[in-house]
């Protein structure tokens, strides 16, 4: 395993195996994120990172190994490494790239099998490494396209959601902060959410959710903020919402309404500002 691997001489078999495992782990991560509806963003830095690792041995430039490791870390931990695309990824171009790169790899290996005199010195390991990197990138694009879920965009939620049974997620998808203007509702999830309406706590009311400029919002993007104009006497809010997309054929979970299986309820309560003087802190 420590001896050079002939096609990528002077890359050892151990290094080649490690690089292959890193590439396989990254492809598995791409497949997992694609299943959740995300495609690589800054995670594409993993491809040049994988390529730099064997090039460090081929070119005898140890600094390239550090560059490759840094790129792999950026691809894994950089914010928004995976992003939600506007449309479903197309598998056509990744498939073309995968086929062409594999054919080129086979051609380089075939020339190498004829002997050094048929290839010449130097360029074969470098060219083979670059082609393998292209193969990894094409495979990632193909995996992301094939694993991307088939979704059905649902219509906007309406007033009926106020009376249907709803689901409260175990992990909050919305967050609220108070200011002099009112309650600022933020989408803290990774996906956009459909908005039905809201009501102050303890009241039988129904208001449309609006942004800070007063425009009605039917959808709240990830990280977007809406303004709920509560009064100093309000003690909380209730917001009815749902996901923008859902898998086709998904069955309602326990506690959801069969007629509106995606309806969810966000609850937030606080001590009214008008009663702040009577508040007791333990």
Q: What is the pLDDT of residues 82-124, one digit of tens each?
A: 988 878 888 899 999 999 988 988 888 777 654 444 444 445 8
Six-digit token string for 99: 């086929």
Backbone angles phi, psi at 164, to 5 degrees: -80, 160
Q: Give the residue with greater pLDDT, 277 vs 133.
A: 133
Reply yes or no on whether the pLDDT at 244 is more than 90: no
Residues across the chain: 282
Six-digit token string for 245: 């997309």
Q: Give the residue with greater pLDDT, 232 vs 279.
A: 232
Query: If you average pLDDT over residues 27-54, what whole number do you get?
Result: 92
Decide: helix, strand or coil at residue 272.
coil
Six-digit token string for 107: 């051609």
Residue 275 CA to chain centroid, in angstroms?
Answer: 43
263 pLDDT band, cuts 50/70/90, is: confident
Which position has the token pair 């919402």? Answer: 241
| pLDDT at residue number 85 | 86
Query: If you average pLDDT over residues 222-249, what whole number do you get?
Result: 81
Residue 18 CA to chain centroid, in angstroms?
Answer: 26
**Using an 8 Å Cβ cutoff, are 30 and 144 in contact?**
yes
DSSP state of 191: S
Percent of the chain whose predicted confidence (pLDDT) is above 90: 36
Q: Which CATH number fits domain 153-278: 2.60.40, 2.30.280, 3.30.70, 1.10.10?
A: 2.60.40
**112-145 core/surface letters (b: 16 or more CB in 10 A; e: else):** beeeeeeeeeeebbebbbebbbbbbbbbbbbbbb
CA distances from 7 to 111, 190, 236 (A): 10, 43, 67
Query: If you average pLDDT over residues 160-189, what whole number do you get?
Result: 86
Reply yes or no on whether the pLDDT at 261 is more than 60: no
Query: If you average pLDDT over residues 229-239, what whole number do you get?
Result: 90
Q: Give the residue with greater pLDDT, 76 vs 164.
A: 76
Query: If you average pLDDT over residues 60-66, what whole number do you get?
Result: 92
| Mean pLDDT for all residues in the chain | 82
| Gyration radius of the chain's alpha carbons | 27
Query: If you average pLDDT over residues 42-52, what whole number do you get?
Result: 94
Six-digit token string for 75: 């691809």
Confidence (pTM): 0.60
| pLDDT at residue number 66 | 94
Q: Beta partners for 260?
A: 257
Q: How many Å apart are CA 10 and CA 133, to the nearest integer?
A: 18
Q: Tell me the domain boundaries of the chain.
A: 6-149, 153-278
């Amino acid at each position: 395993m420590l001896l050079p691997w002939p096609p990528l001489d002077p890359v050892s078999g151990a290094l080649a195996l490690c690089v292959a495992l890193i590439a396989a782990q990254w492809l598995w991560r791409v497949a997992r994120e694609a299943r959740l509806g995300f495609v690589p963003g800054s995670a594409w830095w993993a491809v040049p990172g994988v390529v730099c690792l064997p090039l460090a041995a081929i070119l005898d430039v140890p600094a390239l190994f550090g560059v490759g490791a840094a790129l792999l870390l950026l691809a894994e931990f950089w914010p928004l490494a995976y992003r939600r695309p506007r449309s479903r990824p197309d598998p056509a171009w990744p498939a073309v790239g995968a086929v062409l790169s594999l054919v080129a790899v086979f051609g380089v290996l075939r020339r190498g099998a004829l002997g050094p005199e048929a290839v010449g010195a130097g360029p074969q390991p470098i060219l083979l490494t670059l082609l393998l990197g292209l193969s990894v990138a094409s495979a990632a694009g193909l995996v992301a396209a094939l694993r991307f879920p088939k979704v059905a965009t649902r219509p906007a939620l309406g007033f009926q959601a106020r009376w249907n049974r709803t689901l409260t997620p175990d992990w909050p998808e919305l967050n609220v902060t108070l200011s002099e203007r009112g309650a600022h509702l933020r989408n803290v999830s990774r996906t956009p959410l459909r908005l039905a309406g809201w009501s102050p706590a303890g009241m039988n009311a129904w208001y449309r959710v609006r942004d800070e400029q007063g425009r009605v919002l039917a959808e709240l993007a990830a990280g977007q903020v809406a303004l709920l104009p509560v009064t100093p006497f309000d003690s909380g809010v209730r917001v009815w919402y749902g996901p923008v997309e859902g898998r086709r054929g998904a069955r309602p979970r326990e506690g959801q309404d069969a007629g509106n299986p995606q309806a969810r309820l966000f609850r937030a309560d606080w001590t009214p500002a008008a009663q702040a003087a009577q508040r007791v802190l333990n």
